[in-house]
């Protein structure tokens, strides 16, 4: 196992500290991880609106323990993570722990620089992550939400409790993939700032709504354990778009819920019915592939399980109000 401890007030310094721990150097704004540790990279991205962003995409070649040490300088770190856990994953916030085993997890969480934050992952674990460093000044200047300080204080006190981890929904995943999968350098400049801002604003707006009193009409409650099981269902649902989605009977067994409970709680957590979610996710994946400009429309339709190109075009237009051939990169 290799260990990395770092402290930072910006991601350029963080990546430099990580590179030093790995006895290597940063090239430009990117740290290519030495193969003895992992296959992949960390990349620093300064944003013109005052936010900072760090992308990472790697698969571990040995066990790893990484810790960001607490700081007296207060700022927030918003993490969007897509993780395929090979064995066990430990997340630690101060003295609170979460352990997860052999599953795929896509989630967003907010931490504070005032807390130590660490994770331990086993060899073979694959991690794709967008980390956004947010300062109070930005919140005050750019985010039009009243009483945000009170909401953030309440949220951070929860640390590792159930809704410290919010699962990706269709929009989160679409924005996440647009940032992570965009290989075209021209597209990166136009996409990154807009998409990262959308991710941040979406999370903070939902957080504000979530930590305000729930209406009496909201009768569907979801426990921490149920959230984990529903996240596992979601990972099965979008695992392979080239084939039909798994039957509800199978997903019910994964969730250890009745079909009715699964349907109700999945819609409550993700905002769509199971197969609506599958279809929306499939079309958003199509959009990302189209924007990459690496594949023809026919190739993308085939990757996503469409033998009939006309059916693919119809489904895409239903979701985005335009044909795949008319997609503009804005």
Residue 209 in domain: no
The enclosing domain of 281 has a CATH number of 1.10.10.60
pLDDT, tens digit (0-9, with 9 covering 90-100), for 58-96 = 999 999 999 988 888 878 888 999 999 998 888 888 778
Say if residue 189's pLDDT is above 70.
Answer: no
Residue 260 in domain: yes
**What pLDDT, on a 0 to 100 scale, did the predictor assign at position 162?**
39
**What pLDDT, on a 0 to 100 scale, did the predictor assign at position 148?**
62
The enclosing domain of 29 has a CATH number of 2.60.120.10
User: Is residue 139 domain-shared with residue 243, that is, in the same domain?
Assistant: no
Average pLDDT for 85-111: 84
Say if residue 312's pLDDT is above 60.
Answer: yes
C-alpha separations of 310 from 218, 275, 307, 319, 329 in Å: 41, 21, 9, 14, 22
Residue 185 in domain: no
Average pLDDT for 297-301: 93
User: Is residue 142 domain-shared with residue 239, that is, in the same domain?
Assistant: no
pLDDT confidence bin for 153, thresholds 50/70/90: low
Residue 297 in domain: yes
> What domain range is 72 assigned to?
2-152+161-168
Number of helices and strands (H, E) in the chain?
Answer: 11, 12
Q: How far is 118 from 69, CA to CA, in rounded Å?
A: 8
Q: Which of 209, 235, 215, 230 is nearest to 83 (CA)?
A: 235
User: Is residue 129 domain-shared with residue 31, that is, in the same domain?
Assistant: yes
Q: What's the whole-model pTM score? A: 0.76
User: How many domains, in total, are found in the chain?
Assistant: 2
Q: Which of 237, 292, 293 is nearest to 263 (CA)?
A: 237
């Amino acid at each position: 196992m290799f260990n990395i401890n770092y402290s930072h007030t910006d991601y350029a310094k963080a990546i430099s500290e990580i590179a030093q721990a790995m006895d290597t150097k940063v090239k430009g704004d990117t740290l290519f991880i030495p193969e003895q540790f992992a296959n992949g990279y960390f990349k620093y991205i300064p944003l013109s609106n005052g936010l900072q962003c760090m992308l990472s995409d790697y698969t571990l070649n040995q066990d790893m323990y990484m810790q960001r040490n607490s700081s007296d300088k207060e700022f927030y770190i918003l993490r969007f993570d897509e993780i395929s856990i090979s064995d066990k994953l430990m997340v630690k916030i101060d003295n609170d722990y979460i352990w997860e085993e052999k599953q795929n997890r896509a989630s967003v969480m907010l931490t504070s620089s005032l807390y130590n934050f660490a994770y331990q992952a086993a060899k073979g674990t694959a991690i794709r992550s967008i980390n956004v460093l947010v300062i109070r000044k930005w919140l005050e200047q750019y985010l039009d939400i009243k009483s945000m300080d009170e909401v953030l204080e309440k949220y951070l006190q929860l640390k590792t409790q159930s809704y410290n981890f919010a699962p990706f929904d269709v929009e989160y995943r679409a924005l996440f993939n647009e940032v992570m999968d965009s290989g075209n350098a021209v597209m990166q400049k136009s996409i990154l700032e807009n998409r990262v801002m959308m991710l941040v604003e979406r999370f903070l707006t939902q957080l504000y709504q979530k930590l305000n009193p729930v209406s009496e009409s909201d009768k569907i409650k979801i426990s921490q354990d149920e959230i984990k099981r529903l996240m596992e269902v979601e990972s099965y649902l979008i695992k392979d778009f080239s084939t039909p989605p798994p039957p509800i009977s199978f997903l019910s067994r994964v969730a250890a819920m009745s079909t009715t409970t699964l349907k109700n709680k999945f819609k409550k957590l993700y905002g769509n019915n199971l197969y609506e979610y599958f279809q929306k996710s499939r079309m958003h994946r199509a959009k990302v592939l189209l924007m990459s400009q690496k594949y023809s429309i026919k190739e993308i339709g085939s990757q996503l399980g469409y033998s009939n190109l006309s059916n693919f075009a119809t489904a895409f237009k239903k979701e985005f109000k335009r044909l795949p051939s008319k997609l503009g990169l804005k």
